[in-house]
Amino acid sequence: MMRRTAMRVGSAVCAVALLGSLAACGGDKKPTTTADGKPIVSVLVAKEPNQDKIANMQWAKDLEADCDCKIEWQEVDNGDFANQRNTTLSAGDIPDISLHAFSFVYAEQFSNLFEDLNQDLDKLPNVKAFFKEKPDAQKLNTDSKGHLYTLPNAHGKNNAGTGQLMMINKAWLDKLGLQVPTTWDELENVLKAFKTEDPNGNGQADEIPMNIKKLDPLYYTWHSPMLLLNSTGIPTGFNKGVSTYGFYAKNGVVKSFMTSDEYKQVIKYYHKLISEGLIPADWATKDDDAYNADQTSDGKTAKTGVVFSSSISDTFGDLKDQYITIPVPSAPGVSPDKTVWDGSSSEFDAAGPAVSARAANKDATLKLLNLMYSEKYSVQQFYGSFGKTVTKTGEHEYTVDNDKLIEMRKKNTSPSLSYPAGWIPDEVTIKGDAGSDALYQASKVYEKQRSNFDPVKDYIPDYVNPDADDNTTLASNYNQISNVAMQKTATWMSKGGIDEEWDAYCKQLDSLGLQENVKIWQKWYDI
């Protein structure tokens, strides 16, 4: 099945209010070569506050030398971009290369400003090799008409697993002589033991058997309680993509899980757990800070038994050694070989570089972009300069000084780009990247469940995305649909009553355009 896509809405721009010099970036009035004849290439870098200045990065100096050009780096705070984006685009002048600056939505609207990089792949052999190894990456950033106005980034094979993880306190299981639960009934029994048998040993009834995040008012987001849909055989994709809007595929047919029997089953199970005191009664209103504090506790005595999250160390802090990731338990009537897990991937980032169609030195601009996608400069964009925070220790092998990176980020002197323009090929091994290694290891327990569904027939890939007109219709309908669905879901989980109201709820969502949205997603899924 061939697929086209639009890129997710990114944030970034040539911020006129912040950098007046950007008003003429790429314009005719500016010199295009240096005094000694080297081509000048302007590069806009959207950055987070913890990123160091480009001038302090040795790899950036080496990149300029290898390009044999003069790079005019223009650094803008990512948080200030949104207010300036439309102004910059309307002015018709953008830098030669922009990193994390313009999403496909804007590139399509102002297509005369952006280079269609599909026409330049022969001059971008590193990008061409990237797409050969990772064809889904090219689809991710190719619009509905076949244009490639922006490039994706690839963080490496260790990030290919889902960032959605189910975690349990293994120390509590061991103390109580319990096994990792494999079914909903077993999970409920484990949670009851967590509640009544003082597994943290402090003599207080302060354990939270299972903690869940409140629902987002619009989307099914990271760590959503609805990850239990996977127990029923419906694979979610809550990192990004169509699943966050409540849609999935089954044998090539697009459906909405918001009106499915499986969704109803998950809600009823949660209501049972909440009514039994196994999930906090205030789950639906607890703010994120209070929720996160439950998991870290005082750093000595754990309070939480089961959660959905993405990093054991970030979630539990000093208590991290007590926890493990587990496969999701199967719902009643669902066999282990039909139980699935979230199909998301953290490997690709669609919000990569764009090139101006009016770049004065087009060949030099493409040469620079190609260098950025080389192994040499991709690794350094992600991890910092060789000899500083990363060392080449063998053929396609690198070792990262993770402690030094963490310390530099804390001091707001991170030596890597917040949003790189590059890719880490599968043949490359990165040692010492604690975050990436942890994600890879934590995701291993889901390999079997993720193999229980077809990644195309039973999952809507991230690169499926409608054109601007259909996106407008989808958004208009979905704003009304989600308002009803999220409120009803939270109420039913806490208070019950779903059986009496279910039919009316399904009819209401259909009246708000749910089936129209299903048809639109099906159309683009089939392309």
Instruction: For residue 525, give the H/E element and its range.
Output: helix 514-526
Q: Provide the pLDDT for residue 88.
A: 86
Contact 69, 364 (CB under 8 A): yes
pLDDT at 82 (0 to 100): 72
Instruction: Using pLDDT thresholds of 50, 70 and 90, give the confidence band for residue 10.
Output: very low
Which is more confident, 468 or 36? Answer: 36
- Which of 21-35, 98-112, 168-182 has the lowest average pLDDT? 21-35
DSSP state of 53: P
**pLDDT tens figures, 272-306:** 999 999 999 999 999 999 999 999 999 999 999 99
d(CA 166, CA 173): 15
Percent composition of the chain: helix, strand, coil (DSSP 3-state, to 5): 45, 15, 40
Both tokens of 297, joined, read 């506790």
What's the whole-model pTM score? 0.88
Q: Please count the other Cβ atoms lying within 10 Å of the Cβ belonging to residue 32.
A: 15
For residue 141, the model assigns a pLDDT of: 92
Residues of the chain with CATH 3.40.190.10: 40-154+349-428, 165-344+457-526
Quick check: helix, strand or coil at residue 360? Answer: coil
Average pLDDT of every residue of the chain: 93
For 387-455, the DSSP string reads TTTEEEEETTEEEE-HHHHHHHHHTT-BSS-SS---B--TT-EEES-HHHHHHHHHHGGGHHHHTTS-T
Give the E-state strand segments of 426-484 in sequence order. Answer: 429-431
Looking at the predicted structure, is the pLDDT value of residue 165 above 90? yes
- Amino acid residing at 219: Y
- Which residues neighbour 16 within 8 Å (Cβ) at sequence distance 6 or greater? 22, 23, 84, 87, 88, 91
CA distance 78 to 89: 16
Q: In this structure, which CATH number among 3.40.190.10, 3.20.20.140, 3.30.160.60, 3.30.450.70 belongs to the domain 40-154+349-428?
A: 3.40.190.10
Please determine, for residue 411, whether its predicted confidence score (pLDDT) is greater than 50.
yes
Inform me whether the pLDDT recorded for 150 exceeds 50: yes
Residues belonging to the chain: 527
206 in Cβ contact with 353 (< 8 Å):
no
In the numeric block, the tokens 């297509």 are attached to 111
Per-residue pLDDT at 93: 86
Q: Is the pLDDT of residue 5 over 60?
A: no
pLDDT tens, position by position, 35-85: 999 999 999 998 999 999 999 999 999 999 999 999 999 999 888 877 788
- Decide if domain 165-344+457-526 falls under CATH 1.10.606.20: no
Share of the chain above pLDDT 70, in %: 94
